[in-house]
Amino acid sequence: MNKVKAVVKIKKGEGRNLKSGGLWIFDNEIDAISGEFENGDLVQVHDFDDFYLGCGFINTNSKLTVRVMSRVKGQEIDHDFLEMRVRAAWEYRKTTVDLESCRIIFGEADFLPGLVVDKFSDILVVQSLALGIDRMKLEIIGLLKELLKKDGYPVRGVYERSDAKVRLNEGLERVKGFLGEPFDTKVQIVENGVKYLVDVAEGQKTGFFLDQKYNRAAIAKLCKGARVLDCFTHTGSFALNAGLGGAREVIGVDASALGVAQATENAVLNGLSDTVKFITADVFDLLPEYERNGELFDVVILDPPAFTKSKSSVKNAIKGYREINLRAMKLVKDGGYLATCSCSHFMTPDLFAETIGQAARNVRKRIRQVEYRTQAPDHPILWAADESYYLKFFIFQVVNEK
């Protein structure tokens, strides 16, 4: 690691995120930078009065200018430090989640800002989103492989999915490919007893959404003998959990033909082809059509992509969530169930709940909350790091007014 030479001084009254437990310093919070540095280097962070706040890596190309790695004065960000961080992340997963497939490193929430590592069976998928951590990723992956091997989880291969658009904000190219020996990028995993083929090269983000693992299991118990509609099914995960839960009929819908093809393949893999069917369609168009045709379902599931990725577009997102939820409620039989979620951290829990409530009032439905859930524990929520809390998941019983 390079030695820390430069000091970033924070303006008086700024650095609230860092001081309350977060890891970020934005460009408009910085008063001055003294000493020599290159982007990606480690720097010290001091308050306006020179009080030591931490050490992290800097990138003046980004509005998110410093990401803090440690708050301990004198802490060396070296091999031993990275080994400590990686070990802590792995030990946490060992006590909280099924290790067959899980997120092992979740960026800031594991105090390794800008880095994501997912485990799919014996394959690791790494996503690096910041210049400083990009320089450390190979060392971190090496440490992780050693730890997993010692615990009986040898790694067969590593694939990089650092192709997210956000890397451009860091002055980094979008890249993907093998880190080491090549392998078949379609990897079979088992989650909640459901088999999936995960395409780590071409699937969305790292190939599969692990954050809904236990939410998918939660809806399965509602689906015995049920007719189920799974909207925004992606590769069929909720639909397949419903099928294995004993549903008599499941329809999964997605606008992506590739996603539907993968979902259909997964249904075959689980012996559910007769029960679970998938169609390619725009959910916003399909739900009104189902309503006109008098279609009703015992369970409707909404797992849409994020309708907003910035504060500026929240108002439009509210309209989208309200529309999709009221349309779905109209398709739920009296006494049936609606599972609905948002994966945008800008759509706060209170705002999401208020939007669903508005949708229910608009269609004169009464909703009874069965459960409120968030992301799986391998995506831990770091308090003071709001971006780590993004998934809101409700299950409601939908009751007609009588």
Instruction: Say which CATH number the domain at 101 has.
Output: 3.30.750.80
The distance from CA 303 to its chain's CA centroid, rounded to whole angstroms, is 12
Residues 261 and 291 in one domain: yes
3-state secondary structure at position 4: coil
Residue-wise pLDDT for 137-194, tens only, equals 999 999 999 999 999 999 999 999 999 999 999 999 999 999 999 999 999 999 999 9
pLDDT at 133: 97
Do 382 and 325 belong to one domain? yes
* CATH number of the domain encompassing residue 38: 2.30.130.10
Pairing status of strand 249-254 against strand 227-231:
parallel
Q: Is the pLDDT of residue 276 over 90?
A: yes
List active site positions: 343
**Could you give phi then psi for residue 355, rounded to 5 degrees?**
-65, -40
Confidence of residue 307 (pLDDT cuts 50, 70, 90): confident
Residue 189 placed within a domain: no
pLDDT of residue 53: 96
Q: Tokens at residue 20, please? A: 């309350």
Query: What would the DSSP string read from start to end of 270-334?
Result: TT-TTTEEEEE--HHHHHHHHHHTT--EEEEEE-PPPS-SSGGGHHHHHHHHHHHHHHHHHTEEE
Half-sphere exposure of 127 (CA within 13 A, CB side): 22
The DSSP secondary structure of 75-128, one letter per residue, reads ---SHHHHHHHHHHHHHHHHHHS-SSEEEEEEGGGGT-TTEEEEEETTEEEEEE
Give the pLDDT confidence score for residue 345 in this predicted structure: 81
**Are residues 285 and 396 located together in one domain of the fold?**
yes
Based on the fold, state whether residues 65 and 162 are members of the same structural domain.
Answer: no
Q: Please tell me whether residues 373 and 278 are part of one structural domain.
A: yes
Q: Where in the sequence is the domain holding 305, given as residue range(s)?
A: 209-400
Flag the least confident range among 131-145, 233-247, 310-324: 310-324
pTM over 0.85: yes
Tell me the average pLDDT across 98-106: 96
Mean pLDDT confidence for 291-307 = 94
> Per the domain annotation, does 32 fall within a domain?
yes
Residues 253 and 302 in one domain: yes
Tokens 């989640």 correspond to: 97
Structure tokens at 14: 């700024």
Q: How many domains does the chain have?
A: 3
Q: Please name which of 298, 243, 285 lies closest in space to residue 267, comparing C-alpha atoms.
A: 243
pLDDT in tens, 329-357: 999 999 999 999 999 888 899 999 999 99
Q: pLDDT, tens digit, for every residue of 37-63?
A: 999 999 999 999 999 999 999 999 999
User: How high is the pLDDT of residue 1?
Assistant: 57
User: Residue 375 belongs to a domain with what CATH number?
Assistant: 3.40.50.150
